[in-house]
Amino acid sequence: MNQSKQNKESGLIKQAIVSSLIKLNPLVMMKNPVMFVVEIGTILVLLMMIMPTAFHAEGRFGYNLAVFLILFFTIVFANFAEALAEGRGKAQADSLKKTKKDTTAKKIGKNGTITTVSSDELRKGDIVLVETGDLVPGDGEIIEGLASIDESAITGESAPVIKEAGGDFSSVTGGTKVVSDSIKVRITADPGESFLDKMITLVEGAKRQKTPNEIALNILLVTLTIIFLLVVVTLLPIANYVGVHLELSTLIALLVCLIPTTIGALLSAIGIAGMDRVTRFNVLAMSGKAVEAAGDINTIILDKTGTITFGNRLAAEFVPVTGATQKELTDIAVVTSLFDETPEGRSVLELAKARGFSWDASSYESAEIIPFTAEERMSGLIQEGNHYRKGAVDSIKKFVQQMGGKVPEDLQAKSNEIASQGGTPLAVSYNSNILGLIYLKDTVKPGMRERFDELRKMGIKTIMCTGDNPLTAATIAKEAGVDEFIAEAKPEDKIRAIRKEQEKGKLVAMTGDGTNDAPALAQADVGLAMNSGTIAAKEAANMVDLDSDPTKIIEVVSIGKQLLMTRGSLTTFSIANDIAKYFAIIPAMFTVALPKMEVLNVMGLHSPTTAILSALIFNAIIIPLLIPLAMKGVKYVPMSATKLLSKNILIYGLGGVVVPFIGIKLIDIIVSVFVQ
Amino acid sequence: MDALQIAAVILLLLFIIKPLGSYIYHVFSNEPNKTDKFFAPIEKCIYAICGMKNRAPMTWKKYTISLLLTNIVFVAAGYVILRLQQFLPLNPNGIKNMEPTLSFNTIASFMTNTNLQHYSGETGLSYFSQMTVIMMMMFASAATGIVVAIAFIRGITTKGNTIGNFFEDFIKGHTRLLMPMSIILTLVLVGLKVPQTLDPSITLTTLEGAKQVIAIGPVAALEAIKHLGTNGGGFFGANSAHPFENPTPLTNVIEILSMWCIPASLTYTYGRFAKKQKQGWIVFGAMSILFVAFLALIYFAESNGNPALTAMGLDPSQGSMEGKEVRFGIAQSALFSTVTTAATTGTVNNMHDTLTPLGQITPLSLMMLNTVFGGDGVGLVNMLMYAIIGVFICGLMVGRTPEFLGRKIEPKEMKLIAVALLAHPLLILGPTALAFLTELGKGAISNPGFHGISQVLYEFTSSAANNGSGFEGLGDNTLFWNISTGLVMLLGRYVSIISLLAVAGSLVRKQPIPETIGTFRTDHLLFVGILVGVVLIVGALTFLPVMALGPIAEYLSIR
H/E element, A118: strand A114-118
The C-alpha angle B4, B320, B292, rounded to 5 degrees, equals 40
Region B529-539: mean pLDDT is: 92
The full DSSP string for A576-594 is HHHHHHHHHHHHHHHHTT-
Q: Using DSSP, state whether B214 is helix, strand or coil.
A: strand
User: Looking at chain B from residue 429 to 458, which residues have their Cβ under 8 Å from any Cβ of chain A?
Assistant: 429-430, 432-434, 436-437, 442, 449-450, 452-453
pLDDT surpassing 90 at residue A652: yes
| Cα–Cα nearest to B343, from B546, B170, B146, B552 | B146
Contact yes or no for A235 and B519 at CB 8 A = no
Q: Give the pLDDT of residue A338.
A: 86
To the nearest whole Å, the CA of B401 is away from the closest chain A CA by 6
Q: Give the pLDDT of residue A208.
A: 64
Q: Give the pLDDT of residue A365.
A: 82
Q: Tell me, what's the ipTM?
A: 0.93
pLDDT surpassing 70 at residue A646: yes
Contact yes or no for A565 and B397 at CB 8 A = yes
Contact yes or no for B436 and A237 at CB 8 A = yes
Most B CBs within 10 A among A209, A238, A296, A589, hence the mutation to make, goes to A238
For B414-453, write each residue's pLDDT tens digit. 999 999 999 999 999 999 999 999 888 888 888 888 999 9
Measured CA to CA in angstroms, residue B336 lies from B325, B365, B474 at distances of 12, 15, 22
User: Looking at chain B from residue 520 to 549, which residues have their Cβ under 8 Å from any Cβ of chain A?
Assistant: 520-521, 524, 526, 529-530, 533, 537-538, 540-546, 548-549
Question: Could you tell me whether strands A127-130 and A177-180 are parallel, antiparallel, or unpaired per DSSP bridges?
Answer: unpaired
Work out the widest C-alpha separation in chain B, in whole angstroms: 80
Q: Give the pLDDT of residue B137.
A: 93
Write the residue in B396, B516, B549 that is nearest to A238 by C-beta: B549
CA distance linking residue B322 with residue B526, whole number of Å: 41
pLDDT band at A467 (very low <50, low <70, confident <90, very high): confident
Give the 3-state secondary structure of B176-200. HHHHHHHHHHHHHHHHCCCCCCCCC
pLDDT surpassing 50 at residue B537: yes
Region B367-384: mean pLDDT is: 94
Please give the residue that has the higher pLDDT: either A278 or B177: B177
Sheet-wide strand order for A461-465: A283-285, A543-545, A526-530, A508-512, A299-303, A461-465, A484-486
Contact yes or no for B449 and A298 at CB 8 A = no
Work out the widest C-alpha separation in chain A, in whole angstroms: 118
Please give the residue that has the higher pLDDT: either A179 or A204: A179
Active site residue A394: no
* Residues of chain A positioned with their CB less than 8 A from the CB of B549: 235, 238-239, 242, 244, 590
Contact call for residues B498 and B416 (beta carbons, < 8 A)? no
Q: Give the pLDDT of residue B553.
A: 92
Region A653-662: mean pLDDT is: 94
Contact yes or no for A567 and B394 at CB 8 A = no
pLDDT surpassing 70 at residue A670: yes
Least confident of A355-364, B18-27, B99-108, B364-373: A355-364
pLDDT band at B8 (very low <50, low <70, confident <90, very high): very high
* Residues of chain A positioned with their CB less than 8 A from the CB of B452: 241-242
Spans of all domains in chain B = 2-558
User: Looking at chain A from residue 417 to 456, which residues have their Cβ under 8 Å from any Cβ of chain B?
Assistant: 456
CA distance linking residue A155 with residue A135, whole number of Å: 15
Please give the residue that has the higher pLDDT: either A311 or B502: B502
For A49-104, write each residue's pLDDT tens digit. 998 888 877 778 889 999 999 999 999 999 999 888 888 777 777 766 776 666 77
Which chain A residue has its CA at the smallest distance from B399's CA?
A: A561
Q: Using DSSP, state whether B348 is helix, strand or coil.
A: coil
Q: What is the DSSP letter of B244?
A: T
User: Looking at chain A from residue 569 to 598, which residues have their Cβ under 8 Å from any Cβ of chain B?
Assistant: 569, 571-572, 575-576, 578-579, 582, 586, 589-590, 594, 596-597
Which chain B residue has its CA at the smallest distance from A576's CA?
A: B537
B552 touches chain A (CB under 8 A): yes
Kindly name the residue from A139, A150, A303, A517 that is annotated as catalytic.
A303
A555 touches chain B (CB under 8 A): no
Region B388-392: mean pLDDT is: 93
Q: Give the pLDDT of residue A324.
A: 87
For B257-307, write each residue's pLDDT tens digit. 999 999 999 999 999 999 999 999 999 999 999 999 999 999 999 999 888
User: Looking at chain B from residue 405 to 434, which residues have their Cβ under 8 Å from any Cβ of chain A?
Assistant: 406, 409-411, 413-415, 418, 421-422, 425-426, 429-430, 432-434
Compute chain A's Rg from CA coordinates.
Answer: 34
pLDDT band at A203 (very low <50, low <70, confident <90, very high): low
Region B79-107: mean pLDDT is: 92
Q: Give the pLDDT of residue A3.
A: 60
Contact yes or no for B544 and A597 at CB 8 A = no
Contacts of residue B301, defined as CB under 8 A and 6 or more positions apart, other chains included, come to: B320, B355, B356, B357, B358, B359, B361, B362
Contact yes or no for B399 and A576 at CB 8 A = no
A114 CB-contact burial (10 Å; exposed 0-12 / middle 13-18 / buried 19+) = exposed
Measured CA to CA in angstroms, residue A442 lies from A309, A312, A352, A355, A428 at distances of 6, 6, 18, 19, 19
Q: Across all residues in chain A, what is the average pLDDT?
A: 86
Instruction: Name, of A445-459, A641-655, B282-296, the range with top average pLDDT.
Output: B282-296
Which chain A residue has its CA at the smallest distance from B431's CA?
A: A234
* Residues of chain B positioned with their CB less than 8 A from the CB of A238: 432-433, 436, 453, 546, 549
pLDDT band at A1 (very low <50, low <70, confident <90, very high): very low
A159 touches chain B (CB under 8 A): no
Q: Give the pLDDT of residue A518.
A: 84
To the nearest whole Å, the CA of A140 is away from the closest chain B CA by 37
* Residues of chain B positioned with their CB less than 8 A from the CB of A590: 548-549, 553
Q: Give the pLDDT of residue A54.
A: 82
Q: Give the pLDDT of residue B370.
A: 93
Q: Among residues of chain A, what percentage have pLDDT more than 70? A: 95
B557 touches chain A (CB under 8 A): yes
User: Looking at chain B from residue 254 to 273, which residues have their Cβ under 8 Å from any Cβ of chain A?
Assistant: none
To the nearest whole Å, the CA of B158 is away from the closest chain A CA by 13
